[in-house]
Amino acid sequence: MTILKDSECSDALLKQIAHFFHINSPKLTRSPYSATRFSTFEHTLGMQENSPPLITSALTLLVGLSGGLDSVVLLDLMVRLKQNLGQAKQMMQTCLVNDENQSFPKLNFTIKSIRAIYVHHGLSKNADDWARHCQMLCDEYGIPLVIQRVHVDTKLNGIEAGARKARYEAFKQHLLPSDVLLTAQHQDDQAETFMLALKRGSGPLGLGGMLPIRQLDSLHWHARPLLEFSRCELEHYAHTYSLKWINDESNDNDAFDRNFLRLNVMPILQERWPYFQQAVARSAELCQSQERLLDELLAPVLDSIIEKREQSLDIEALRTFTDEKRYAVIRRWCQLVKLHSPTNDQIRRIWSEVALSRQDSHAMVEMGYSPDQNVMLQVKRYHNRLYKVLLPVNTSNHDNLYILELNQSEIPIPQLTTTVTRERIIKDLLRLAESLQLTQDEIVRYKTYFEQQPITIRFGLPSSFQVSIIGQDRGKTIKKIWQIFNIPPWKRHFIPYFFIKDKLLMGGELFLAKLD
């Protein structure tokens, strides 16, 4: 590792900045400050001809600020970058390009604004002091700070997991549509993550550790600009610029696995092999590279055997694959439908216990609990396909009948884990009417009923209940309608049926009943 003299810190800052804008390199090279260490941030975010709508050339940043060394350095770097981006563009060309065969991409974007967020977990008696420290720091920089108090649920996976979940929920709550979230994980953190994954027996996906940049949700990106820099480098930078930070006393508690590694294991390995952390980072990056390659090769395979509407998976197609290919495809399907991170055991059980079960079997694999939706996640089969199943918790306590009165705009429906509005019901009605090619007069009649009458919403209709629906010559039982529309058994109880007075007019987003 290169330790710079104080006089060189200006250049070091620009190199740190260059790292932020040239992130997610496919390889590490000899020198920690070599230009070839960086690949373009523009390419990573797609800021070129194929630029997605999520990222613009004028970045707005939300920095996660704990008050500790790492996040204080990150905030300082971003503030300096915003102030000196023009100078950085010029100096990067001279400071970083030492190899005449290397070209350096142009920085064709700016930082429009920076905000910071401090998440108050309520776990330390010093948390209020840390919040005040962050506020003073941001006041000095002249940037806004959000202080968000959260409740940490420790019931499921302990304090560390609960705090992380609460923290990222707070981040998402305060992200504006154009924001990129920045957090300050560094190379030491990456090495610890790799070792923890190794302890769990993880494969390449887990051993890949933290990504330099990832899509947080449908609107936002999450970047970790300091991931290739060691804590020692960050400390040197902080001392050079006289930065002030706090120390979280919980980091000294080696009862937590990560702290045990940091305090008791990593120093011994680092003393024996000084470049151990860099080697671990390289291994993590190689694992990420292998996963990206598999993603690329298997994407068209997965696309060819998945049903787009329900995102169910074709079992017969999976039968033709080798075990290795089959398990890799199932894992990527689980990621696509957001079934957490499945273990190898869960992947194998999905195939052996569910996919290979009898057609009339009720076999399933539990995939965990989603507190956001208050549902259990499962994988089941139906008609030679694998499905993700959301099973609401405590459904026995739910009513089967709800009435949306004329003076009500919305009503909470536990079975749907959401609130239903009259506007949403009418939108579903109009979508159905369009797909059924109803005339304008017919559409107006249906719409009038739903606009001018109380709407009764029922669940769990008897399978023998009969109704005449548009598109079918004769009346059908609800059971027959389920079969016509290929509704899996676990979904049937959660289909809302919309009545006007005592007449059924619409079944979920499946059918419209005949008016006459």
Report the C-alpha gap between 130 and 204 in whole angstroms: 37
Amino acid code (one letter) for 437: Q
68 is in an annotated binding site: yes
Four-residue CA torsion sign, 243, 244, 245, 249: positive
Residues 52-104: tens digit of each pLDDT = 344 455 678 999 999 999 999 999 988 888 877 655 444 444 444 444 444 43
Beta 179-182 vs 221-223: how paired, if at all?
parallel
39 is in an annotated binding site: no
Which H or E run contains 410? strand 410-413
* pLDDT at residue 71, as a whole number: 96
Q: Which CATH superfamily is 55-96+106-273 part of?
A: HUPs (3.40.50.620)
189 is in an annotated binding site: no
**Of 501, 500, 496, nearest in space to 511 by CA:** 496
Tell me the domain boundaries of the chain: 55-96+106-273, 308-392, 401-512
201 is in an annotated binding site: no
Which H or E run contains 478? helix 478-484
Four-residue CA torsion sign, 265, 127, 369, 301: negative
Report the C-alpha gap between 203 and 208 in whole angstroms: 9
283 is in an annotated binding site: no
* pLDDT at residue 105, as a whole number: 42
* pLDDT at residue 50, as a whole number: 40
396 is in an annotated binding site: no
DSSP class of residue 351? I
Residue ranges in the chain modelled with pLDDT below 70 = 1-58, 85-109, 156, 371-372, 394-399, 417
**Of 108, 109, 132, 106, nearest in space to 120 by CA:** 132
Q: Which fold has domain 308-392?
A: Chorismate Mutase Domain, subunit A (1.20.59)
Burial label, 212 (beta-carbon count in 10 A; 0-12, 13-18, 19+): buried
DSSP class of residue 3? P
Distance between terminal CA atoms of the chain? 81
* pLDDT at residue 400, as a whole number: 83
What predicted TM-score, i.e. pTM, was given to this entire model? 0.71
* DSSP count for the chain of H helices, then E strands: 18, 19
* pLDDT at residue 91, as a whole number: 45
